[in-house]
Structure 1
Amino acid sequence: MYYNSGPIYFIVILAMLASWFIQWRLRSKMTKYSQIGLHSNLSGRQIAELMLADHGITDVRIISTEGRLTDHYNPADKTVNLSEEVYDARSASAAAIAAHECGHAVQHATAYGALQFRSAMVPALSGVSRFMPFILLAGVLMIKTTLIPLGVGIVLFSLTTIFAFVTLPVEFDASNRALAWIDRRGIVTPQEHAMAKDALHWAAMTYVVAAISSLATLLYYVSIFMGGRDRR
């Protein structure tokens, strides 16, 4: 049987184009909503402090980090890292991002299963990511003589794909926690809530496309492996 990798390769290209579009759309939304002042006049840092306090979290630090869209929660040192345009900003986008990152802190504090699983995968993936591209390249180049390197590369790449899909519930749950809290706490007006929800939606879509792209790439390598096996 001959395995045609053409359709899968086409899906990979589409995923790359979709990723570019969503990244552009996300930046556009963030720029738009960052220019609209928040009715409560709270900064991203103040919103983060309130959300952590409301959830009884006292061992997490909030720090400012350089760059744009570099916001993240680090479970290793328990820090909510807010970009400069979020840390001091008083806008719907800043409220959404600050609350979302604190949503991860709440997940950590409550031992949210998906976050724990993803965190457990990080050490292994950090090591795998260093040499996996070389193994895959060697596997493709050596496919006429042996399938072992490509098979090993596929197994390793599958870990990154699993990680990408495990990330999805983690991100969506953090956004749901954030939106529910800023609404319940009166941080935003109904109009600002809609803007915050829209901003987080586009941020979540970047993870969705990344997961689909990873799966398509994995299937592409699998199709090469199967084709090489059938030609032997």
Structure 2
Amino acid sequence: MLNLLYYLYDPTYMLVIIGIVLSMLANASLRFIYSKYLKVPSMSGIRGVDAALAILRNNGIYDVQVLPINGELTDNYNPVSKTVNLSEGIYYSTSIAAISVAAHECGHAIQHNSEYLPLTLRTAVVPLASISGALSWPLIVIGFLLSKAGTFFIQLGIFMFLIVVLFQIITLPVEYDASARALKQLKSGGIIQDNEIKGAKKVLDAAALTYVAVAVANALQLLRLMLLSRSRRG
């Protein structure tokens, strides 16, 4: 029990605090920029769903549906069901933010259609990353509760957490590439005007930054776990 208490309150917890602060700043930035450009109507006046459908058709993709879902910033592309899922605030809105987010999710659909390797790899790793994420912390806590006898559980938990971090690192090029494809489609398709590109890029960059923050935060947490494990063995 003393080992677990040390684990919870040791000086390396500063690494966790840094990660939390970075994540909070990234999320705050996203919400500020998203809210700002959600109030700016696009000159084309088309909705997020219309932009998504136009991008898909322009790329010869006809087997992907565009569906509305509940929530805010819950937008995603599901490669299994081949659906671009847009939150209702994006699906029906004609704002710069809505069109940008819709285009980003279509960027993933284009990746899937062209068999973009990082997306294929990420999709394949999803089940393993989900299982690892669910088991890593219980194993680590059990390991610390068992004192020296729990070394195996701690190491196994850290290994599983490493898989989660690697998954998040793989996610970064996928997200940035989808945003790059989104901007290209918005320009080439005439969906937004030249003077609207800057706003669209701000929305997409802010969203991508949240993925970077999460990856950095979890990498710092992983470093902390490795330091604690090493200290414990010593």
Which bracket does the TM-score occupy, shorter chain normalised? over 0.9
The answer to whether the Cα contact below 8 Å between 2:142 and 2:150 also exists between their aligned partners in 1 is no
**Deviates further, 125-134 or 56-65:** 125-134
C-alpha distance in 1 between matches for 2:181 and 2:45: 21
> Does 2:104 match 1:93?
no
State TM-score, norm by structure 1: 0.93
1:132: Cα distance to partner? 2.1
The answer to whether the Cα contact below 8 Å between 2:15 and 2:224 also exists between their aligned partners in 1 is no
Spell out, residue by residue over 1:91-138, the C-alpha distance to the aligned partner (whole angstroms, 9 max, x if none). Answer: 110111000000000001111110011100111122223322210111
User: Partner residue of 2:49?
Assistant: 45
1:141: Cα distance to partner? 2.2
Name which of 11, 19, 33 aligns with 2:15. 11
Structure 1 residues 126 and 146: alpha-carbon distance in aligned structure 2, compared to 1, 3 A threshold: closer
> Does 2:214 match 1:210?
yes
Q: State, as a whole percentage, how many aligned pairs show the same letter.
A: 37
Aligned residues: 226
C-alpha distance in 2 between matches for 1:173 and 1:7: 38
Structure 1 residues 127 and 52: alpha-carbon distance in aligned structure 2, compared to 1, 3 A threshold: same
1:8: Cα distance to partner? 4.6
Correspondence list, 1:80-229, <5 A: 80-229=84-233
1:9: Cα distance to partner? 2.8
The answer to whether the Cα contact below 8 Å between 1:182 and 1:188 also exists between their aligned partners in 2 is yes
The answer to whether the Cα contact below 8 Å between 1:8 and 1:216 also exists between their aligned partners in 2 is no
Letter in 1 for 2:14: F
1:40: Cα distance to partner? 0.7
C-alpha distance in 2 between matches for 1:222 and 1:89: 46
C-alpha distance in 2 between matches for 1:8 and 1:52: 47
- Structure 2 residue ranges without an equivalent (≥5): 1-8
Report the secondary structure of 1:145's partner residue.
helix
1:7: Cα distance to partner? 6.7
Structure 1 residues 130 and 13: alpha-carbon distance in aligned structure 2, compared to 1, 3 A threshold: same
Report the secondary structure of 1:82's partner residue.
strand
Over aligned residue pairs, what C-alpha RMSD do you find? 1.4
Spell out, residue by residue over 1:161-205, the C-alpha distance to the aligned partner (whole angstroms, 9 max, x if none). Answer: 000100000000000000011011111122211001001111001
C-alpha distance in 1 between matches for 2:26 and 2:115: 31
Report the secondary structure of 2:148's partner residue.
coil
Letter in 2 for 1:129: G
- Structure 1 residue ranges without an equivalent (≥5): none
Report the secondary structure of 1:180's partner residue.
helix
Structure 1 residues 198 and 158: alpha-carbon distance in aligned structure 2, compared to 1, 3 A threshold: same
Runs of 4+ deviating beyond 6 Å: none
C-alpha distance in 2 between matches for 1:177 and 1:61: 19
Report the secondary structure of 2:220's partner residue.
helix
User: Partner residue of 2:79?
Assistant: 75
Report the secondary structure of 1:147's partner residue.
helix
User: Partner residue of 2:64?
Assistant: 60
Spell out, residue by residue over 1:26-70, the C-alpha distance to the aligned partner (whole angstroms, 9 max, x if none). Answer: 111111101111101111000000100011111100000001000
User: Partner residue of 2:24?
Assistant: 20
